[in-house]
Amino acid sequence: MSMTKRYNYRAYPTQGQCGELACLFGACRHAYNWAIEQRELMRRRHGRMQTYNQLSAMFTQHRHDPDHAWLTSVSSTPLQQAIRHADKAYQNFFRQYKAGRTRIVANQRTGRKRRTGLPRFKSRRDGEQAAEFTKSARFKIEHTHGCKWAFLTLPKVGTVKLRWTRDLPSQPSSVTIMRHADGTYEASFVVQAEQATAPAPIHEACGIDMGLESLMSIVHADGTRQKIPHPRTLARKARRLRKLDKQLARQRKGTSNHAKTLLLRARAYKHIQNQRKDMAYKLASTVTGENQAVALETLNVNALARTRMAKSLLDANWTRIITRITELCAQYGRTLVRIDRWYPSSQICSYCGRRDGRKPLNVRTWQCPACSTTLDRDYNAAVNILDAAGLAESLNARGDEVRRALAAADEAHLSTKREPTEPYAFI
């Protein structure tokens, strides 16, 4: 089965091309903001909206106005795409609005009220800038087999050098050229790609407990278990970020030194972003690749992110890991079971089933008053999740002692210990 995918490549435009691209991004931003403005005017005056086709025709007129000559110096396709994106933003907003999922919030500083989800104006101070070329813009890619570099020709920009890391699986239907906050450029192609073949699973099933002490505690139905430590990506960069923030506070806004520090900070954040993405993707691919069935908790990350644990929690990247696991399970044909959010996985003894109430987060191990097993908080929860998902059959078939050892705090009874495999060894 083929599916739509994005293939991204780092781009290295020349200084002149950077200038051309800056003009192009500016024009796209203008088109987007213009479309939003037109829609808002129409809504306020007449209580309705233009269709995309009407907007598009209006923009053609606007573009050929002698006052806006600078809009004709760039390719017209990205501008039309920008209007299309604004249109899409409105469609998304209305879907949310009709479903009753928007609300009015006030800005804490200015007191100005706005509705959530309503498309906003783009600013040239936004870090991320982009322009999309479709097939009709006739962009061209040249690549000699085995060559490290490829050349992307964009109308009215020129031929931009790309670092070619892998071949495109098919002719791309569009390309988006982006400038990130850290000053790097990227070209993103939309292609049709064949689905990757699923690797053979090693374990029948696994239960996963997500935590902050250890990022994931995984128990497999064949009696093996492992813990994956929290990567603490943010914490390890915290000193550097704090230093840059202090520096920024001392520098005057608008000076070139201030701009330099802003760039350094953007780079530091980009590094964190890359590390987090890399970790989440590798982890998700290992978990889904190795197991035929995966049992997970349903977590309310948004609610937890309002607590004191927010920084560490968001650094753990749970949402991204879970989203990726869900995607891969669908692709590989694996079973994914999500356990109810209110299931008391850390209150029940996974060996005898006694429920002895909530425990504060600092209790990592405890002894079950009924069967006197010393339980490990995370592993015990993972076994319970496996149980609740109805995937523990083969674990139960292995006997009581295997089950007991799996949730126990000491490793003495554990028949087979598993060393963490390669992708986890990044800590």
Distance (Å) of CA 185 to CA 94, 133, 156, 289, 373: 33, 15, 17, 32, 56
Closest CB to Zn ion among residues 93, 366: 366
Residue 169 tokens, joined:
């699986």
Shortest reach from residue 223's CB to Zn ion, in Å: 18
- What backbone torsions phi and psi does residue 404 show, to the nearest 5 degrees? -65, -45
Shortest reach from residue 365's CB to Zn ion, in Å: 13
Shortest reach from residue 379's CB to Zn ion, in Å: 14
Shortest reach from residue 404's CB to Zn ion, in Å: 9
126 carries an active-site annotation: no
Shortest reach from residue 418's CB to Zn ion, in Å: 24
Query: DSSP secondary structure string, 117-142?
Result: T------TTSS-EEEEEEGGG--EEE
Q: How far apart are CA 24 and CA 412, in angstroms?
A: 65
Closest CB to Zn ion among residues 140, 354: 354
Whether 180 and 127 have beta carbons less than 8 Å apart is answered as: yes
Q: Considering only CA atoms, which of 423, 66, 127 is closest in space to residue 273?
A: 127
Closest CB to Zn ion among residues 30, 404: 404
Closest CB to Zn ion among residues 90, 351: 351
Shortest reach from residue 318's CB to Zn ion, in Å: 28
Q: Considering only CA atoms, which of 72, 188, 91, 90 is closest in space to residue 130?
A: 188
Closest CB to Zn ion among residues 3, 370: 370
Q: How far apart are CA 68 and CA 70, in angstroms?
A: 5
Task: Identify the active-site residue in 132, 290, 376, 378.
Answer: 378
Closest CB to Zn ion among residues 60, 372: 372
Distance (Å) of CA 379 to CA 8, 205, 285, 371, 374: 38, 15, 21, 17, 11
Task: Identify the active-site residue in 209, 290, 315, 387.
Answer: 209
Long-range CB pairs of 279-284 (<8 Å, 24+ gap) are: 279/231, 279/233, 279/317, 279/426, 280/317, 280/320, 280/321, 280/324, 281/324, 282/423, 282/426, 283/215, 283/216, 283/228, 283/321, 283/423, 283/424, 284/321, 284/324, 284/325, 284/327, 284/328
297 carries an active-site annotation: yes
Closest CB to Zn ion among residues 109, 355: 355
Task: Identify the active-site residue in 297, 315, 376, 387.
Answer: 297
User: Where do contacts with Zn ion occur on this chain (CB under 5 A)?
Assistant: 349, 351-352, 354, 368, 370-371
Shortest reach from residue 294's CB to Zn ion, in Å: 26
Query: DSSP secondary structure string, 332-349?
Result: HT-EEEEEPTT--TTTB-
245 carries an active-site annotation: no
Residue 102 tokens, joined:
């928007």
Residues with catalytic annotation?
Answer: 209, 297, 378
